[in-house]
Structures are given as structure tokens and as C-alpha cells.
């Protein structure tokens, strides 16, 4: 059986600018897939295409065996949740009301607000640690608090697949780890997670499937242990670095060289190759 979500030879562009050409990716079912790469390499664009926000110029995104643009919007929203970069909340909306919007795909003319919706919202508030903020206007919250509210709304949607574009933005290291631990628990419970992350060492710690991108193309994918080494970090990020085993997990950990040491290392390599 094929994976539920995939991109098949997609070309993605914004007006005249092509971001990715002939890109293919299959998201392993039940994985915690993390996409990494330098700024403007196409990570967020790929996520927009996977979530149906951006239509490919060619190729297609497939969800559960069908081209995603052939599926009704509400049906897609029941199967796939998205947390985009820098979402905006309506003026004066409270935390509880915003999180409750995650339940809209489950409602219809015949099915209005139900006890199941109430439970889903309460669980999302609890899991993100914002139950005590439920009555507060979102506009009054700090950046980190607002980010957790948006994550809670996505969780309340209760989709089997979650796409998150930089979900740890604005969060300090404590809350970054809390969010990633939450996503890891959801993943262990059966949800497929796809996240764009910038903090490489956290990405390597939590990913079960890593996708490394540069200039709109996938340079490598697989488990962090299998694909991450100093050569990949230099190829993807132009960053000389030492890659060692994380003392807690045994997974790869990146230690960038100081600039002057990196320049010395490059000169030494040049001399050795001469």
C-alpha cells in the first residue's frame, strides 16, 4: 500500500519564479518527517503544495490515492491539518474561540457543536499548556503563547496528518522542546507529522524521516543517522561543521566550526589536495 501523502514530479512557482522543478517526495505513513534547508530553499513552498494551498504548475500532490485538488476542501481538512508560518487571528477573538475553529471541518448543517468537539478543544488546550489562557484575547498574548494557540487549533482538527511550518518560531528553548515532545507523542500515537524546522540539532533528535533541501531540490532523505554527516551539512548549508553523536540520543549533532577555524581548515584541505 502506498503512502497517504506524496508529491509526484511537481513544478512549483510563484508567478515568474520557479521554486522547485520535477520534485518528488513520498511522506512515510506514521513518520515524523522533518524538512530542513537554508532560507528560501523551497521548504515552505513544498509544505504549501502538500497542503493544497499552492497548485503545482505540473505534476500532482496525491492524498489517499487521489489528486488532492480533486478532493472537496472539507474532506481534505478532515484528513490533513496545516499550521502555516505567521498565521493571523481575527481581531478580539479569544483563545478558546480560535482553537474551536479547528473543529469546523467536522461540522455541517446536520451536525453542529457536539460534546466530541468540546472534548477535542479541551484536550488541545491541555496538551499545549494553554488551558489557563482560554478566555484571553489572542492579541494580548506573547509571540510564544500565540504560537501554542495556533498549534492547539491544529490539534483540535484531529487529522491523521499534520503539516507544521516552523512550529517552534518565537518559542524559547524550553517551549521548543515541549512542542516537539508533544508532536513526538502524537506521532507515537499514530499521527503522521511533517514539520519544517530550522534548529538542526532538534530536527535530528526528533525526526524519524529527514528531508534535506537546497535550491528547490531534495538533496538527501532518510533517517538522520543514515544521511547526516559533515559532507551533507556543507553541501546543503555551505557550513563547515563537525558532526558527532548526541550524547543523550546517539543521533547526529552538528557543531559548526568558528569562521577563522573553518578558513584554516579549508586552506589545509587545499594544500593537501595540491
Delineate the domains of the chain, giving CATH numbers in brackets: 5-71+160-273 (3.40.50.300), 92-157 (no CATH)
Residue 165 has pLDDT above 70, yes or no: yes
Cell numbers that stand for 188 in this block:
507515537
DSSP state of 94: B
pLDDT tier, 264 (very low <50, low <70, confident <90, very high otherwise): low
Residue 270 has pLDDT above 70, yes or no: no
Q: Please state the pTM of the whole predicted model.
A: 0.87
Q: Above pLDDT 70, what percent of the chain? A: 92
β-pairing, 58-63 vs 66-67, is antiparallel
Strand partners, 193: 32, 162
C-beta separation of 220 from 35 below 8 A: no
Q: Above pLDDT 90, what percent of the chain? A: 72
Which residues, 6 or more positions from 121, have their beta carbon under 8 angstroms from its beta carbon? 96, 99, 100, 102, 103, 156
C-beta separation of 32 from 183 below 8 A: yes
C-beta separation of 219 from 236 below 8 A: yes
Residues 237, 240, 244, 246, CA torsion sign: negative
Amino acid at each position: 500500500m502506498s503512502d497517504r501523502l506524496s508529491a509526484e514530479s511537481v513544478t512549483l512557482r510563484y508567478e515568474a519564479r520557479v521554486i522547485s522543478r520535477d520534485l518528488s517526495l513520498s511522506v512515510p505513513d506514521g513518520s515524523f518527517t522533518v524538512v530542513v534547508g537554508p532560507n528560501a530553499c523551497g521548504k515552505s513552498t513544498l509544505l504549501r503544495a502538500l497542503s493544497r494551498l499552492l497548485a503545482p504548475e505540473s505534476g500532482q500532490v496525491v492524498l489517499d490515492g487521489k489528486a488532492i485538488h480533486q478532493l472537496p476542501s472539507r474532506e481534505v481538512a478532515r484528513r490533513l491539518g496545516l499550521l502555516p508560518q505567521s498565521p493571523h487571528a481575527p481581531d478580539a477573538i479569544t483563545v478558546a474561540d480560535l482553537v474551536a475553529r479547528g473543529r469546523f471541518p467536522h461540522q455541517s448543517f446536520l451536525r453542529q457543536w457536539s460534546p466530541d468537539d468540546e472534548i477535542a478543544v479541551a484536550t488541545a488546550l491541555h496538551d499545549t499548556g494553554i488551558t489557563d489562557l482560554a478566555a484571553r484575547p489572542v492579541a494580548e498574548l506573547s509571540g510564544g503563547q500565540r504560537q501554542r494557540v495556533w498549534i492547539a487549533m491544529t490539534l483540535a482538527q484531529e487529522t491523521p496528518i499534520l503539516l507544521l511550518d516552523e512550529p517552534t518560531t518565537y518559542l524559547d528553548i524550553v517551549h521548543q522542546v515541549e512542542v516537539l515532545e508533544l508532536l513526538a507523542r502524537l506521532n507515537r500515537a499514530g499521527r503522521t507529522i511533517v514539520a519544517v524546522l530550522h534548529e538542526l540539532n532538534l530536527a535530528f533528535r526528533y525526526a524519524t524521516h529527514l528531508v534535506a533541501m537546497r535550491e528547490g531540490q531534495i538533496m538527501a532523505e532518510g533517517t538522520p543517522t543514515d544521511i547526516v554527516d559533515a559532507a551533507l551539512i556543507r553541501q546543503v548549508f555551505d557550513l563547515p561543521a563537525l558532526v558527532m553523536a548526541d550524547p543523550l540520543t546517539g543521533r547526529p549533532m552538528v557543531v559548526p566550526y568558528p569562521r577563522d577555524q573553518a578558513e584554516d581548515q579549508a586552506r589545509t584541505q587545499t594544500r593537501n589536495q595540491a
